[in-house]
Amino acid sequence: MNIPLAEKIRPKTLDEIVGQTHLMGEGKPLRRIIESGTIPNLIFYGPSGVGKTTIARFIAENANMTMYKLNGTSASVADIKNIIAETEMLSGMNGILLYLDEIQYLNKKQQQSLLEYIENGSITLISSTTENPYFYVYNAIISRSTVFEFKPVTPQQIQPAIRRAFDLMAEDIGVSLTLEDGVIEHIARGCGGDVRKSINTVELCVLSAERDEENGRTVKMETVRQLTQRSNMRYDREGDEHYDILSALQKSIRGSDENAALHYAARLIEAGDIISLCRRLLVIASEDVGLAYPMAAVITKACVDSALQLGLPEARIPLAEAIIMLATSPKSNSAESAIDAALAVVRSSGALDFPRHLQNKHFDGAEAQVRGQHYLYPHDYPNHWVQQQYLPDALIGQVYYHYGDNKSEQAAKAYWQKIKGGR
């Protein structure tokens, strides 16, 4: 059987594991748990290719327990029941360790079938997932497990694994390899923190390398560039990474850091997702710039319309214009705060009566104590304003909107203070 290089190179010791030093470094929590020999229920959460499966397998294979492996994409209730049945057999006397990859694909019923056996300790569960377990894993399983978050591996941490992969590949196919300068560093940078992807790239580089007359092969930078192009984009439109990038974009613009905002926007553009980028920019224009620069919403809409009409690659230009404009504009969230405050009162107080003079014109009933609408038309008065009640009686004096401390809103505040006589 042709075993993939990424499978052959899996670490045999804890010190060979790449990255995750916040979990696996000397004295770190997960390493201490593994070295203790007593394994609790564990959930590993993080992007693909960062060591979740490697560490889970390492724990399982070195535990003094009967081990079973299931994958959430293909496991059935029958598979789980078969493993549970083993708990009463001789093979299950020391306990059963179930390694469950991609647990997020198991439905609630499948996950619930494990609960009793996790609870009494006859099954120890080690599961891995690329999705946030607090959204996708049954709460009762989470409450009985320890969740560890795995992070993308840095290029510097990946380089030793790439070197080992080249050595192993050369040994397997019986050739001498020559690497042009920068090959290892380029692969490490170009695979977006995904160790598995970098090892797969090594395999492709060797297989496609130019042969010389002495049964040697040379891996050239041009080949590496072709094989790693766009591979550094870690992006899933339905996953956490998608929302993390959009969140980072908005928070960078809100924080007036145009360079960081351009970085996250570039990641969305490179992934071809200008729809999500456009929608988020429209939100930011009103939520974060708002009344400090009201034209921001108009300009952003124009840039978004242009981008959608142009398509990529030209769309990047009006989108960059909107991003830089929003990031460098004064900021105000006064409109958002005002409408949220109004919504909170409406939800708590319900539908209150209107002041009579604000109602649509209609005849008064016989029971009306005051007849006639008596509405004062502001345009008939100086400065187009006249004092009269607008809020329902129960809310007289209620304030939702507070002027922001930016030039635009302070100018409006000064104007109305003058017109309303300091009210």
The per-residue pLDDT for range 34-65, each reduced to its tens digit, is: 887 778 889 988 877 788 877 877 787 777 77
Whether 144 is in a domain gets the answer yes
Instruction: Tell me the CATH number at 342.
Output: 1.10.3710.10
Give pairs for 206-211: CB < 8 Å, separation 24+: 206/166, 206/169, 206/170, 206/173, 206/177, 209/177
Q: Give yes or no: residues 314 and 347 share one domain.
A: no
Whether 301 is in a domain gets the answer yes
Selection from 214, 216, 186, 215 nearest residue 202 by Cα:
186
Residue 234 pLDDT > 60, yes or no? no
Of 117, 149, 181, the one marking the end of a domain is 149
Mean pLDDT over residues 366-372, rounded?
53
Residues in the chain: 423
Q: Give yes or no: residues 286 and 396 share one domain.
A: no
Reading the block at residue 227, the tokens are: 């094989």
Q: Give yes or no: residues 316 and 345 share one domain.
A: no
Chain segment 243-297, per-residue pLDDT in tens: 888 999 999 999 999 999 999 999 888 877 888 899 999 999 999 999 999 999 9
Q: Give yes or no: residues 132 and 36 share one domain.
A: yes
Q: Which comes out higher in pLDDT, residue 239 or 267? A: 267
By residue range, what is the domain housing residue 342? 336-361+372-419
Residue 28 pLDDT > 80, yes or no? yes
Q: Give yes or no: residues 276 and 250 share one domain.
A: yes
Percent of the chain surpassing pLDDT 70: 88
Whether 4 is in a domain gets the answer no
Mean pLDDT over residues 92-117, rounded?
79
Q: Is the whole-model pTM more than 0.85? A: no
Per-residue confidence (pLDDT) for residue 348, from 0 to 100: 87
Q: Give yes or no: residues 131 and 43 share one domain.
A: yes
Residue 422 pLDDT > 70, yes or no? no
Instruction: Tell me the CATH number at 262.
Output: 1.20.272.10
Q: Give yes or no: residues 173 and 106 share one domain.
A: no
Per-residue confidence (pLDDT) for residue 144, from 0 to 100: 86
Reading the block at residue 106, the tokens are: 């198991």
| CA atoms in the 13 A half-sphere facing the CB of 86 | 17
Chain segment 328-355, per-residue pLDDT in tens: 999 999 999 999 999 998 888 877 777 7
Residue 235 pLDDT > 60, yes or no? no
Going by pLDDT thresholds of 50, 70 and 90, the confidence category of residue 423 is low
Per-residue confidence (pLDDT) for residue 76, from 0 to 100: 81
Residue 102 pLDDT > 60, yes or no? yes
Q: Give yes or no: residues 346 and 403 share one domain.
A: yes
Per-residue confidence (pLDDT) for residue 238, from 0 to 100: 54
Selection from 184, 153, 191, 188 nearest residue 167 by Cα:
184
Sheet holding 123-129, edge to edge: 66-71, 96-101, 123-129, 42-45, 146-149
Give me the helices (H) in 311-378, please: 316-328, 334-349
Of 125, 149, 173, the one marking the end of a domain is 149
> How many domains does one find in the chain?
4
**Of the given ranges (87-91, 290-294, 334-338, 365-369), which has the lowest mean pLDDT?**
365-369
Whether 162 is in a domain gets the answer yes
Instruction: Tell me the CATH number at 219.
Output: 1.10.8.60
Per-residue confidence (pLDDT) for residue 217, from 0 to 100: 82
Chain segment 371-419, per-residue pLDDT in tens: 556 788 888 888 888 888 888 888 888 888 999 898 988 998 898 888 8
Q: Give yes or no: residues 90 and 59 share one domain.
A: yes
Per-residue confidence (pLDDT) for residue 320, from 0 to 100: 95
Chain segment 199-227, per-residue pLDDT in tens: 888 888 888 877 776 667 888 888 888 77
Whether 186 is in a domain gets the answer yes
Whether 178 is in a domain gets the answer yes
Of 228, 253, 287, the one marking the end of a domain is 228
DSSP code string of 96-136: EEEEEETGGGS-HHHHHTTHHHHHTTSEEEEEEESS-HHHH
Per-residue confidence (pLDDT) for residue 285, from 0 to 100: 96
Mean pLDDT over residues 128-133, rounded?
83
Bridge partners for 100 per DSSP: 70, 127
Q: How far apart are the C-alpha atoms of 128 and 408, rounded to whole Å? A: 51
Chain segment 165-203, per-residue pLDDT in tens: 888 888 877 778 878 888 888 888 777 677 888 888 888
Q: How far apart are the C-alpha atoms of 43 and 23, rounded to whole Å? A: 13
Q: Give yes or no: residues 266 and 300 share one domain.
A: yes
